[in-house]
Amino acid sequence: MLPTIEWRGDRVVMIDQRRLPGEEIYVECRDAESVARAIETMIIRGAPAIGVAAAYGLALGFLMVPDRGRAAAEFAAVSDRLRRTRPTARNLFWALERMKAVFESHQGLPLAELQSRLVREAQDIEREDADICERIGRNGAALIKDGDSVLTHCNAGGLATAAYGTAVGIIRAAFERGTKFRVFADETRPFLQGARLTAWELEKLGVPYAVITDNMAGWLMHKGEISLAVVGADRIARNGDVANKIGTYSAAVLAKENGLPFYVAAPLSTFDFSLADGGGIPIEERPAAEVREIAGRLITPAGAKVRNPAFDVTPARYITAIITEKGIARPPYEASLGALR
């Protein structure tokens, strides 16, 4: 349904997520550098979608390699450039590692065949991600019951993945089953992924929803107006600690205080089994302008000092369950995630 990203033979086309919901504009990337910039500037964002974009960026960059002699050096240079775009999303590194494995195991192929093989791998990553999201949706749909009010944070929908979404995938699957519920979408300052993107998706899907500012969620929980929360993830450590959009931690603590289930939905490509806990997850700091401005308009004194960590880490003890394409993991996560892996 949602055209997040598309391969067109010699270029990648993606919907410009900075312009939604006001304008549905598509951006064409004809080289790896423009894909890298699209990721950095959030034309495309959301961990799985970043992974797909990076794979296409690498395939695109490699299409420009002039001769076999330069192949290995060019592949490494393009991959390094893409790795430096956004540090928190595990899927970015996972996708580049997968492309590298294909590159290394097909070294003997003529250049043109190796180039096509890498394009096919990126297409597989995209197709698989859409399929995985539908599985996550099916696995999690029954967690939402008739009469529930579901809080979600940021955008973990079709726009953040190849298609369908993770947290929004669960919402969508429950809706498609006929469950009667509504959604509260946190606006998600500073980039407003909830107000702009999740609301846009829910509107298109016909799911009843209301946008709230981030600071309203706690009060609505306290008043009994929220039944559960479901969010996505950018990186998950072995013990179940979850890095996700800034504000996720606050929502999870408030959910626990109010006795509400707090679910995380993510594909296995978001897990970083090399990390024992969330302490080692790199947290991206984004430009100050994102906090100083709303829609390009200054809302603070021009020189105001700001902080802009784009993600936080929610300790596993606040998380009721993690829904993956292989099933639902519950605490203790070291064991349950290990089994799913």
Q: Nearest residue to ligand MRU, using CB?
A: 232
Per CB under 6 A, contacts with ligand MRU among 224-283 are 232-234, 244-245
42/59 with CB nearer ligand MRU: 42
264 bridge partner residues? 231, 322
CA-wise closest residue to 135 among 288, 331, 267, 298: 267
- Smallest distance from ligand MRU to CB 250, Å: 14
Applying CB under 6 A, among 141, 202, 260, 310 the residue interacting with ligand MRU is 310
Per CB under 6 A, contacts with ligand MRU among 196-225 are none
- Smallest distance from ligand MRU to CB 69, Å: 37
Q: How many residues contact ligand MRU, by CB under 6 A?
A: 16
HEC secondary structure over 155-186: CCCHHHCCCCCCHHHHHHHHHHCCCCCEEEEE
Distance, CA of 194 to CA of 214 (rounded, Å): 9
Applying CB under 6 A, among 193, 314, 324, 336 the residue interacting with ligand MRU is 193
SS3 310: coil
Residue 282 makes CB contacts below 8 A (sequence gap 6+) with: 87, 88
62/201 with CB nearer ligand MRU: 201
Applying CB under 6 A, among 14, 156, 207, 264 the residue interacting with ligand MRU is 156
Q: Does 171 participate in binding ligand MRU (rule CB under 6 A)?
A: no
Per-residue x/- mask for ligand MRU, residues 285 to 304, rule CB under 6 A?
Answer: --------------------
- Smallest distance from ligand MRU to CB 265, Å: 8
Strands (DSSP E) along the chain, which ranges?
5-7, 12-15, 26-29, 149-152, 182-186, 209-212, 228-231, 235-237, 242-245, 262-265, 271-272, 293-294, 297-298, 311-314, 321-324, 327-329
Scanning 24-32, 40-48, 273-281, 325-333 for contacts with ligand MRU by CB under 6 A, the matching segment is: 40-48
For residues 17 and 43, the answer to whether their CB atoms sit within 8 Å is: yes
Distance, CA of 341 to CA of 132 (rounded, Å): 14
Q: Which candidate in 129, 186, 234, 241 is catalytic?
A: 234
> Known catalytic residue: 124?
no
Per-residue x/- mask for ligand MRU, residues 126 to 155, rule CB under 6 A?
Answer: ----------------------------x-
Q: Tell the residue number behind the tokens 């995938």, with chain if given.
A: 169
In order of 23, 78, 144, 199, 233, the CA distances from 20 in angstroms are: 5, 29, 28, 10, 22
2/118 with CB nearer ligand MRU: 2
Per CB under 6 A, contacts with ligand MRU among 41-80 are 45-48
Which of the residues are catalytic?
A: 234
Q: Which residues bind ligand MRU (CB under 6 A)?
A: 45-48, 154, 156, 160-161, 166, 193, 232-234, 244-245, 310
